[in-house]
Amino acid sequence: MNLLLRVFSVVVALFFVARAVAEPFVIDVTDASTYANDWGGPSLAGVLAVHCGPGVLAAMFLYGSVVRWRNGRKREPVSSDR
């Protein structure tokens, strides 16, 4: 069950990252009428914060998870035979 939760979390995080990368290309940033009714609108900064913010947070989560996983694998087991 723990592995299923981790896989689901990674899939959702990758979705948010992909959405954050695609959002500036999906909307026409020079035409305010294309994003005025979106969440965070009518300002471009609000729209990008709402649509790209979760992707930035998810990218930080993924980076932290990979760093923690790699550091955990590099550690040598501590022997208690002192």
Instruction: Tell me the residue type at 29.
Output: V
Cβ-contact 39, 51 below 8 angstroms: yes
Domain boundaries, the chain: 2-73
pTM: 0.74
- Cβ neighbours of residue 47 closer than 8 Å, sequence gap 6 or more: 27, 35, 38, 39, 40, 41
Mean pLDDT of 8-13: 94
Tens of pLDDT, residue by residue over 17-54, are 999 999 989 888 888 888 888 888 888 899 999 999 99
Mean pLDDT of 75-80: 63
Residue identified by tokens 């969440």 is 39
Q: According to the model, what pLDDT value does residue 82 have? A: 57
pLDDT confidence of 69, banded at 50, 70, 90? Answer: confident
Q: According to the model, what pLDDT value does residue 36 have? A: 85
Q: Exposed (0-12), middle (13-18) or buried (19+): which is 44, by Cβ within 10 Å?
A: middle
